[in-house]
Amino acid sequence: MRTDLAALFIIFGGSGDLAQRKLYPALFNLYQKGYLKEHFAVIGTARRPWSDEHYHEIIMTSLAGFEADETVKKTFASHFYYQSHDVTDAQHYETLKQLAAKLDDQYQLQQNRIYYMAMSPRFFGTIASHLGSEALLTADGFNRLIIEKPFGRDYDSAKILNDELTQTFEEDQIYRIDHYLGKEMIQNIMALRFGNGLLGAVWNKQFIDNVQITLAESVGVEDRAGYYETSGALRDMMQNHIMQVIGMLAMEMPVSFSAEDVQREKTRLFKSIQPYTPAEIKTNFVRAQYGETPVEGQTQPGYRQETNVAPASQTETFVAGKVLIDNERWCGVPFYVRTGKRLARKETQINIVFKKTGVNIFAPDKNDQSAVAPDVLTIFVEPEQGFALTLNGKKVGQGFELVPGQLAYQYNQQMLADSPEAYERLILEALNGDGTNFTHWRELAASWQFVDAIRKVWDADQTALPTYPIGSMGPKEATELVQSTGAEWIFDPTQSK
């Protein structure tokens, strides 16, 4: 891969949490690895009247976790410039443009620009139109826009935002971040599926009984209640991350590994998802809130007791659902999805559950399948990373009993040492003009339409949400959802092994 890439980063929201916690460390990693060397500069913009010196101190603080030499950090920080800027004020873009042109000359940046929207989504459209109207885009280099989630709060608002962005940027200049697509093991789904003839042959309705995706968080809303109250788990996790994981697991093999071909297949897949009637939504989707729970003699607040949460809030902190795909590969195979806060453990896990054998010749009644566990391919996304294939073998000893055993492949710390953090990987891909792991507008539109239908039914139903205890894996309704087709959730950390 090319090193010493030339680009100017303009970060809108340069004093914010995302910039300090994720973006500056990611850029520093790229610097240490040589992808960024001499020919890069960063303009951080925000409202506060900071000096460049103060900004450098902020950068140094955000690098506190790195063991690197202080002089290396300082040299890196010297590429950063601060511009006090109100994104709604057209005049400020003129100052920004002049600084950008100066840095372009000073660092020989070849007019390459990355505009990073690291601030409140309500400004995304405004910034993009000003970038166009005040002519910040360069004629000779590349101009790429990286945009954070949330991308709208439903299809209509996402469409309005997209229309605003596309007045200035072409679709292939827009890099919509879904940081799940930057995770090592999510990218690994492609390797598993399309790099193994064995798995490729059984990746269909003939062999797969169901697919399970769990994105479990152990934390509650913490200090984000203000945002979360307007979002909920459906918008916060399902519309983007879970839909993208479904896309990776279920799409057809792309013609090539290019952004265009991968995004085309994901879009086709999203269009094949079975739309539900309101009645089907009620049976196929479950929502809930974590309730007040006694933990070690103390009562832990439930969602409705959290600071800044309305006492009668109907915002869901848990979603489980059954997604069906109407295409030849998948018809009839449920994709069970689940995400929630305050669950038993923070873990993202995918389970591909294979069909059992037709008969069980080891049981007195050959039709008794209860003693046979299904074969399961588990993809550990985080915190552990790896795969496991659970197969049945013979229990050692007299008699003949089947027991599941695991062929497991876990990446160890040494192997993962080189694995870039999601933001580092995605920023480098954007620098290289590779949009494979970003979301195309068509994917986003289709996933919003699916999620909007659920939201509409839920919003019209003011029945109090079921609650689940903190430290559980959600309400009983989520267990029943899966059991209704004779399956079980494979990942259950409450059943300690």
183 is in an annotated binding site: yes
**Can you tell me which of 87, 225, 325, 490 binds ligand NAD, judged by CB under 6 A?**
87
86 is in an annotated binding site: yes
Is 86 a residue that touches ligand NAD (CB under 6 A)? yes
Beta bridge partner(s), residue 273:
325
Terminal-residue alpha carbon distance, the chain? 44
Which residue type is seen at 29? N
∠ CA 247-493-386, nearest 5°, is: 50
Nearest to 233 by CA among 212, 213, 215: 215
Which phi and psi angles does 355 have, rounded to 5°? -70, 150
- Candidates 57-65, 84-92, 236-244, 400-408; binding stretch for ligand NAD (CB under 6 A): 84-92
**Can you tell me which of 8, 9, 15, 335 binds ligand NAD, judged by CB under 6 A?**
15
Nearest to 42 by CA among 92, 116, 95: 116
261 is in an annotated binding site: no
Nearest to 353 by CA among 196, 203, 469: 203
Token output for 167: 């007045």
Question: Parallel, antiparallel, or unpaired for β 376-382 and 347-354?
Answer: antiparallel
Helix (H) or strand (E) holding 11: strand 7-12
Our CA dihedral for 455, 457, 461, 463, rounded to 10 degrees, sits at -70
264 is in an annotated binding site: no
Which phi and psi angles does 138 have, rounded to 5°? -90, 160
Is 119 a residue that touches ligand NAD (CB under 6 A)? yes
- Candidates 13-21, 203-211, 245-253, 430-438; binding stretch for ligand NAD (CB under 6 A): 13-21
CB of 162 to ligand NAD, least distance (A): 15
CB of 84 to ligand NAD, least distance (A): 8
39 is in an annotated binding site: no
Is 268 a residue that touches ligand NAD (CB under 6 A)? no
As a whole number of angstroms, the distance between CA 292 and CA 225 comes to: 16
Question: Parallel, antiparallel, or unpaired for β 402-410 and 386-394?
Answer: antiparallel
CB of 447 to ligand NAD, least distance (A): 17
- Candidates 61-69, 81-89, 155-163, 420-428; binding stretch for ligand NAD (CB under 6 A): 81-89
Which residue type is seen at 73? K
* Residues belonging to the chain: 497
Size of the site for ligand NAD (CB under 6 A): 22
Strands (DSSP E) found in 272-385: 285-291, 293-295, 298-300, 318-323, 335-340, 347-354, 376-382
Is 61 a residue that touches ligand NAD (CB under 6 A)? no
Q: According to CB under 6 A, which residues from 138 to 177 bind ligand NAD?
A: 148-150
Please, which residue, 245 or 377, has the CB nearer to ligand NAD? 245
Nearest to 193 by CA among 323, 352, 338: 352
Please, which residue, 188 or 240, has the CB nearer to ligand NAD? 240
CB of 81 to ligand NAD, least distance (A): 15
Query: What is the Cα 446 distance to its own chain's centre?
Result: 16
Beta bridge partner(s), residue 147:
117, 176
Asked if 224 and 349 count as a contact pair (C-beta separation under 8 A), the reply is no
CB of 456 to ligand NAD, least distance (A): 23
Is 46 a residue that touches ligand NAD (CB under 6 A)? yes
Please, which residue, 130 or 440, has the CB nearer to ligand NAD? 130
- Candidates 73-81, 105-113, 117-125, 398-406; binding stretch for ligand NAD (CB under 6 A): 117-125
Please, which residue, 13 or 340, has the CB nearer to ligand NAD? 13
Please, which residue, 118 or 136, has the CB nearer to ligand NAD? 118
Is 88 a residue that touches ligand NAD (CB under 6 A)? yes
As a whole number of angstroms, the distance between CA 402 and CA 390 comes to: 12
113 is in an annotated binding site: no
Token output for 218: 């152990």
- Candidates 46-54, 287-295, 298-306, 425-433; binding stretch for ligand NAD (CB under 6 A): 46-54
Nearest to 146 by CA among 42, 60, 285: 42
Question: Parallel, antiparallel, or unpaired for β 335-340 and 318-323?
Answer: antiparallel
- Candidates 29-37, 42-50, 199-207, 252-260; binding stretch for ligand NAD (CB under 6 A): 42-50
434 is in an annotated binding site: no
Q: Annotated active-site positions, please?
A: 241
Is 229 a residue that touches ligand NAD (CB under 6 A)? no
Is 10 a residue that touches ligand NAD (CB under 6 A)? no
Is 25 a residue that touches ligand NAD (CB under 6 A)? no
Q: Which positions make up the binding site for NADP(+)?
A: 47, 86-87, 149
Q: Give contact residues for ligand NAD (rule: CB under 6 A).
A: 13-19, 21, 46-48, 85-88, 118-121, 148-150
Q: Which positions make up the binding site?
A: 47, 86-87, 149, 179, 183, 217, 236, 341, 346
